[in-house]
Amino acid sequence: MAIMHALPDVYGMVKLVKWEVFSGRDFADRAVPPNRRHLALRQPVDDLDGVLERTSHALGTTVEAHLVDLAPFGRVRSPGVWTPDGALI
């Protein structure tokens, strides 16, 4: 399970939980950049180039952003990063 808070005083969180007792359709093959639908969670950042540079350095690989059309924002840069254990963030 993972919990994410945007800011210390912001009320709201995202919990990612894997439940073994439910069955359903597997959409894992669609959860890859530049996914533009409900299979992606996005967090805006002020300095995307800086985030990509630090992430690339930490992972030892180049992390790039894809240009996507994302309503209602228009054309945005959206990266997808795989962790060493294979999780997409």
Instruction: Write the DSSP string, the chain.
Output: -EEE-SSTT----EEE---TT------GGG-STT--STT------S-HHHHHHHHHHHHTS---EEEEEETTTEEEEEE--B-TTS-B-
Inter-residue contact 39 to 85 (CB < 8 Å): no
Domains of the chain, residue spans: 2-79
List, for residues 1-41, the tens digit of each pLDDT value.
Answer: 455 556 666 666 666 667 777 778 877 777 777 665 555 66
Task: Report the alpha-carbon distance of residue 75 to residue 67 in Å, rounded.
Answer: 6
* pLDDT number for residue 1: 47
Show Cβ contacts of residue 5 under 8 Å, excluding neighbours closer than 6 positions: 12, 13
Can you give the pLDDT at residue 17?
67
- pLDDT at residue 77 above 50? yes
pLDDT digits 0-9 by tens, 40-65: 667 788 999 998 999 889 888 888 89
> pTM of the full predicted structure?
0.53
